[in-house]
């Protein structure tokens, strides 16, 4: 049984910047939760998988009513590091190198899947068919058909399916979205986002095992990943869709391997424009050879702009500062009249430069990026046997549109969503 | 070297001059309040500025008086 976005937002009571929120908004959302100890397995213990595992171990240490039933990875060094992590937190776990054996022998209540992208679909589908709930890292799958198949199996089995868009669970983002949807920014004309890095995105491959290159650096090969689109853009596309409460109607894009000509197959820079039914655009770019502008999502309305990554609300009409005392203003004017140079020529047109006003914080009490809250939410969903449908739909639509962007870039065409993928 | 004798009349005179400077400074404050449309409570809250202004005016007056006296003595002795 699902729950609508409005119900969800009402339950977690995020309205108003001053609203008091406890550490876990889902703890409030599902206040009637039972006491069942939830058994979670982590499949895929690479960098992201271990981060998720550590968050779970912290939740357990803090008294969360769950346990790590097993961990699984087919790459032994990653599995070894995950075991060390469990030992650090005094947690005993079973280890597996084959997820099918884990599903059969360990039968957890839920699995957290953080494998390379091309493995998401079959592990997710097998898990849900075995009656196990799934939190799968974004994006959902490598192909459009796989994304749809995962969604269909979720609907058939009734298993919880969450996609790892952790911003959906960040109190800062929840607060911002509530204010955006209430019209605080006015009419939103455009959303812009970017993610700029200056590194090659490569992981070290053991010198004596060059055959592991594609397995370790799977993000760089088209067989396994759509690169920047599925690994970075998907996060920000989800934020744009969430802010606009719509999914795009078309996408066009471009991309190339411009700087890191090192044998990779995915683009090292991309740009895309998404159009929405009401005329709004989402303008996106990502690159890997300059990090000056970093990562940001800018929601731009006619009254204000929100910059979500850096937690800023910038009003179009900044509040006027309290005026100085009259006598101080008089001194200032006399000083200006006495010492200011008199222009005798120059530009008659001033460029429309950006406002020199840094805005105010959106929300200050969020620690972390929402990953811990996401895992708490997953555990609660399992305990309740209750899916949050709009969260699943956010993940689904974002995955579909990320993959459509890849096709738009590869074909140079403006693409719309094929009807068979509309949910 | 002669002893410097400060009489009560001297002190009163200097106090009167500083009081006049204070009134002029407060006048400047009133002018600024009207010109910049700031609250009248600044008559009291800007007292720090007014005091500094009054001291500046007093010092300016002192410089002019010293110059005047200096020139006057110079010309008197020549005459």
**Interface predicted TM-score of the whole assembly (ipTM), two decimals:** 0.80
- Residue with the bigger pLDDT between A7 and A137: it is A137
User: pLDDT value at position A348?
Assistant: 58
pLDDT at residue A14, as a whole number: 40
Best of A327, A333, A337 to substitute, by most chain B Cβ atoms within 10 angstroms, is A327
What is the side-by-side strand order in the sheet with A38-43? A94-96, A66-72, A38-43, A110-113, A133-137, A161-164
A352/A118 Cα distance (integer angstroms): 46
Place A320 in a pLDDT band, splitting at 50, 70 and 90. confident
Res A416: pLDDT: 97
How large is the average pLDDT for residues A212-227? 96
Query: Which CATH number among 3.40.50.720, 3.40.50.300, 1.20.1250.20, 1.10.3720.10 corresponds to the domain A5-169+368-388?
Result: 3.40.50.720
* CATH code reported for the domain at A191-318+356-366+400-421: 3.30.360.10
The alpha carbon of residue A325 is apart from the nearest alpha carbon of chain B, in Å, by 7
Cα A381 to the chain's mean position, in Å?
19
* Residue boundaries of the structural domains of chain B: 14-78
What are the chain A neighbours of B45 within 8 Å (beta carbons)?
A: 325
**Inter-chain residue contact A330 with B42, CB threshold 8 Å:** no
> In whole numbers, what is the pLDDT of chain A averaged over residues?
90
A5 compared with A407, residue with greater pLDDT: A407
A155-164 pLDDT tens trace: 999 999 999 9
Low-confidence ranges of chain B (pLDDT < 70): 78-79
pLDDT, position A368:
84
B32 CB within 8 Å of a chain A CB: yes
Residues of A in contact with B42 (CB under 8 A): 325-327
Mutation for testing the A interface, residue in B34, B44, B49 having most A CBs under 10 Å: B49
pLDDT of A404: 98
Q: Are A225 and A48 in contact (CB under 8 A)?
A: no
Whether chain A has a CB inside 8 Å of the CB on B63: the answer is no
User: Is the pLDDT reported for residue A359 higher than 60?
Assistant: yes
Q: What is the pLDDT of residue A335?
A: 87
State the Cα–Cα distance between residues A172 and A368, nearest whole angstrom.
Answer: 10
The burial class, CB within 10 Å (0-12 / 13-18 / 19+), for A183 is exposed
User: How far apart, in whole angstroms, are the C-alpha atoms of residue B35 and residue B41?
Assistant: 15
What does the alpha-carbon distance between residue B25 and residue B57 come to, in Å, rounded to a whole number?
Answer: 8
Task: Please determine, for residue A29, whether its predicted confidence score (pLDDT) is greater than 50.
Answer: no
pLDDT of A19 strictly over 90: no
**Residue A27 pLDDT more than 80?**
no
| pLDDT given for residue B1 in this prediction | 74
Q: In angstroms, rounded to a whole number, what is the distance separating the alpha carbons of residues A279 and A199?
A: 35
- Confidence band for A24, pLDDT divided at 50, 70 and 90: very low
* Domain boundaries of chain A, sorted by first residue: 5-169+368-388, 191-318+356-366+400-421
What are phi and psi for residue A95, nearest 5 degrees? -115, 145
Of residues A328, A330, A331, nearest to B35 (C-beta): A330
Q: Which residue has the higher pLDDT, A365 or A423?
A: A423
Contacts of A323 in chain B (CB under 8 A): 36, 38
- Give residue A366's pLDDT: 73
Q: How far apart are CA A130 and CA A407, in angstroms?
A: 33
| pLDDT higher than threshold 70 for residue A11 | no
Using a CB-CB cut-off of 8 Å, the residues of chain B touching A330 are: 28, 31-32, 35-36
**Span A81-118, pLDDT tens digits:** 999 999 999 999 999 999 999 999 999 999 999 999 99
Give this prediction's pTM.
Answer: 0.80
Nearest residue on chain A to B40, alpha-carbon basis: A326
User: Does the bond joining A139 to the residue before it have cis omega, within 30 degrees of 0?
Assistant: yes
Closest CB to B45 among A325, A329, A331: A325
Find the radius of gyration of the CA atoms of chain A: 24
**Token reading at B8:** 């009560």
Report the pLDDT value the prediction gives residue B6, as an integer from 0 to 100: 86
Per-residue pLDDT at B4: 84
pLDDT score of A253: 98
The mean per-residue pLDDT over the stretch A13-20 comes to 35
Q: Which residue has the higher pLDDT, A397 or A12?
A: A397
**CA-to-CA distance for B51 and B65, rounded, in angstroms?**
21
Number of H helices, E strands in chain A: 14, 14
Task: In whole angstroms, give the CA distance from residue A421 to residue A148.
Answer: 6
Task: Give chain B positions within 8 Å (CB) of A329.
Answer: 32, 36, 38
pLDDT of A25 reads 43
Residue with tokens 């509040």: A319
**Per-position DSSP letters for A85-96, written without gaps between them:** HHHHTT---EEE
Nearest-5° angle of CA A412, CA A416, CA A418?
Answer: 120
As a whole number of Å, the CA-based R_g of chain B is 18
| Sheet (strand A269-275) strand order | A250-256, A269-275, A281-287, A188-196, A295-301, A304-307, A312-315, A360-361
């Amino acid at each position: 049984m699902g729950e609508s976005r409005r119900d969800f937002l009402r339950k977690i009571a995020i309205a108003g910047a001053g609203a008091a929120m406890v550490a876990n908004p889902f703890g409030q959302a599902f206040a009637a939760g039972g006491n069942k100890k939830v058994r979670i397995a982590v499949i895929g213990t690479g960098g992201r998988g271990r981060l998720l595992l550590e968050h779970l171990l912290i939740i357990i240490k803090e008294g969360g009513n769950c346990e790590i039933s097993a961990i699984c990875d087919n790459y032994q060094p990653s599995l070894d590091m995950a075991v060390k992590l469990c030992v650090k937190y005094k947690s005993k776990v079973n280890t597996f190198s084959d997820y099918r054996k884990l599903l059969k022998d360990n039968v957890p209540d839920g699995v957290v899947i953080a494998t390379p992208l091309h493995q998401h679909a079959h592990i997710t589908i097998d898990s849900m068919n075995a009656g196990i709930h799934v939190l799968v890292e974004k994006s959902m799958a490598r192909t459009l058909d796989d994304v749809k198949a995962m969604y269909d199996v979720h609907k058939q089995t009734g298993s919880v399916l969450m996609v790892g868009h952790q911003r959906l669970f960040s109190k800062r983002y929840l607060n911002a979205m509530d204010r955006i949807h209430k019209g605080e920014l006015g009419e939103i004309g455009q959303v812009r986002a970017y993610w700029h890095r200056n590194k090659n995105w490569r992981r070290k491959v053991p010198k004596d095992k060059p055959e592991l290159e594609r397995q370790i650096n799977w993000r760089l090969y088209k067989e396994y990943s759509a690169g920047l689109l599925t690994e970075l853009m998907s996060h920000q596309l989800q934020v744009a869709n969430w802010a606009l409460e719509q999914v795009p109607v078309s996408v066009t894009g471009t991309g190339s391997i411009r700087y890191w000509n090192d044998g990779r197959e995915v683009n090292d820079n991309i740009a895309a424009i998404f159009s929405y039914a009401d005329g709004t655009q989402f303008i996106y770019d990502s690159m890997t050879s300059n990090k000056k502008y970093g990562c940001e999502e800018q929601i731009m309305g006619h009254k204000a702009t929100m910059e979500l990554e850096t937690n800023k609300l910038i009003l179009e009409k900044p509040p006027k500062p309290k005026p100085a005392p009259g006598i101080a203003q008089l001194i200032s004017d006399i000083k200006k009249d006495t010492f200011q140079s008199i222009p005798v020529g120059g530009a008659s047109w001033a460029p429309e430069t950006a406002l020199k006003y840094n805005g105010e914080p959106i929300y200050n009490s969020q620690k972390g990026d929402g990953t811990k809250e996401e895992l708490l939410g997953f555990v609660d969903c399992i305990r309740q046997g209750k899916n949050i449908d709009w969260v699943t739909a956010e993940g689904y639509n974002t995955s579909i549109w990320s993959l459509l962007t890849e096709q738009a870039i590869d074909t140079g065409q403006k693409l719309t969503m094929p009807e068979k993928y509309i949910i | 070297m002669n002893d410097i004798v400060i009489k009560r009349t001297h002190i009163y005179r200097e106090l009167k001059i500083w009081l006049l400077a204070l009134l002029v400074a407060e006048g400047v404050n009133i002018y600024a309040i009207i010109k910049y449309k700031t609250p009248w409570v600044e008559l009291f809250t800007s007292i720090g500025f007014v005091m500094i202004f009054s001291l500046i005016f007093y010092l300016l007056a002192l410089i002019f008086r010293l110059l005047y006296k200096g020139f006057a003595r110079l010309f008197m002795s020549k005459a």
